[in-house]
Structure 1
Amino acid sequence: MTFSIAAHHGGRFGIAAASSSPAVAARVVHLRDSVGAVASQNITDPRLGAVLLDRLAAGQSPREALDSVVGSEPSAEYRQLTVVDASGAAATFSGGRTLGVHAEASGPHCAAAGNMLSDPGVPAAMCDAFDSAAGELEERLLAALAAGLAAGGEAGPVYSAGLATVSANGWRDTDLRVDWQENPIEALGGLLEIWLPQRDDYVRRGLEPAAAPGYGVPGDDR
């Protein structure tokens, strides 16, 4: 029901995901400043995202973190997980009960996975697109998600998509979601076009409120 990519670029972490089920990013995306990115999907247990990030923060590699969590998790055979750390190392896991056609792939500073796919080459296409794309991390993640859809995506239509990033500021500086709509990846791209030119200004509002610009909103008399 999901295809996603987790990635690291320039000290930032991000994940993009799409699914036939609603609100995919609410369950799949797990990010932590200066630590890593974890996608937890298939028959999803969102709690595993925090557990894996804790293992990375404790000094384990993505493979060590995955192996330790999978080895102690009774329901691991139902889970599909990807992990990327601050060095750009990546690891993936798909349990034996992962749904439908499923696959994983990894590339420089990224890892992708999918289940109920129309083609097992979808994750590899996503990693290739991320590696070759230019621009901000958000733009590279969106390119990867679009490449996954172009490579076949899910066996059925997708209706939700999300993209989030962290940049060591203490919160998600990008967190965009299309929770139920036809063509959600296209809609996500439209949101990103609106958001990206304003992103750094909103970060500045949090870190340096006296220096933050206004946007001419009624009631803002700065």
Structure 2
Amino acid sequence: MTFSIVGRCAETGQLGIAISSSSIAVGARCPWLRAGVGAVATQNITLPALGPDILDLLDAGLAPLAAMDRALASNGFSQYRQLAVIDSQGRTALFTGSEALGVNNAVAGEQCVAAGNLLAGPQVIAAMVAAFEAHAGEPLADRLLAAMNAAVAAGGEAGPVHSAALSVVSDLLWPLVDLRVDWAEEDPLGELGKLWSAYRPQMQDYVTRALDPTQAPSYGVPGDE
């Protein structure tokens, strides 16, 4: 039903998540990020509260495994949950409950964790980690999308996927990237890739506009002179 990757860029400290699901609007429930703290993908039978709970515990100084275990213990029904966690230092944790759907797998790599359920096969998750690591040195968003495309090439989900999301945080209070395809009849990852290609050239301009409006570039729209 869902496959995802959480990752960190060792050069910039950025944290990010890319995720896709057969369910509608996966980006509204499953990816949780906090600048300077960590990133959490909560999936399978999703409990969105686990995301902010774990981030709060990371922010309080707990390591990823301890934060994840405490959040799972306090919320119950852990056997239905699947989690991937990374903190601002690149430390990781992962969990897949005994009631996870279909073929499932979770793998930690260098500065990343990939996880999924209802997969075509366990090799899908290994392919994600390998792709993320192979694209070291590239922008984090590109590495995350490369991992997602590798998952599709390795078989992806057992059935069709319909939504996808890409989120990246840096040292700002707001997300650097927050792109979503809430529903597509087919190929939401392809649509997400198009969104990223359109947003990438403008990304830094939006940061500039926010931090120093006197330096804001013009986009040629009415009133923007």
**TM-score, normalised via structure 1 length:** 0.97
Give the alignment partner of residue 169 of structure 1, picking from 138, 147, 172.
172
Partners of 2:59 and 2:29 lie apart in 1 by 21
Give the letter for the 1:214 counterpart: S
Partners of 2:5 and 2:168 lie apart in 1 by 12
Give the alignment partner of residue 151 of structure 2, picking from 148, 163, 187.
148
1:172 is paired with a residue of what secondary structure?
A: coil
Two-structure CA RMSD over aligned residues (Å): 1.0
Partners of 2:146 and 2:165 lie apart in 1 by 13
Aligned to 1:195: 199
Task: Determine if the alignment matches structure 1 residue 54 to structure 2 residue 56.
Answer: yes
2:29 is paired with a residue of what secondary structure?
A: helix
Aligned to 1:31: 33
Deviation at 1:218, TM superposition (A): 2.1
Deviation at 1:124, TM superposition (A): 1.5
Give the alignment partner of residue 160 of structure 2, picking from 157, 162, 168.
157
Aligned to 1:218: 222
Partners of 2:30 and 2:142 lie apart in 1 by 19
Worse overlay, 68-77 or 108-117: 68-77
Instruction: Tell me, yes or no, if the aligned pair for 2:50 and 2:72 is still in contact at 8 Å.
Output: no
Q: Deviations over 1:110-151 (max 9, x none)?
A: 001001111112111111111111421110110011111111
Aligned to 1:204: 208
Q: Where do 1:32-181 residues align within 5 Å?
A: 32-133=34-135, 134-181=137-184
Give the letter for the 1:8 counterpart: R
Give me the identity figure in percent.
Answer: 52
Partners of 1:150 and 1:179 lie apart in 2 by 22
Give the alignment partner of residue 184 of structure 1, picking from 188, 201, 207.
188
Deviation at 1:108, TM superposition (A): 0.8
Deviation at 1:49, TM superposition (A): 0.1
Deviation at 1:70, TM superposition (A): 2.2
Partners of 2:39 and 2:59 lie apart in 1 by 11
Give the letter for the 1:136 counterpart: P
Deviation at 1:96, TM superposition (A): 1.0
Deviation at 1:159, TM superposition (A): 1.2
User: Stretches of 4+ moved more than 6 A in 1?
Assistant: none
Where in structure 2 are there 5+ consecutive unaligned residues?
none
Give the aligned length: 221
Deviation at 1:73, TM superposition (A): 2.8
Partners of 1:30 and 1:205 lie apart in 2 by 25
Where in structure 1 are there 5+ consecutive unaligned residues?
none
Partners of 1:35 and 1:29 lie apart in 2 by 14
Partners of 1:137 and 1:26 lie apart in 2 by 21
Partners of 2:150 and 2:67 lie apart in 1 by 28
Task: Determine if the alignment matches structure 1 residue 4 to structure 2 residue 7.
Answer: no
Worse overlay, 64-73 or 130-139: 64-73
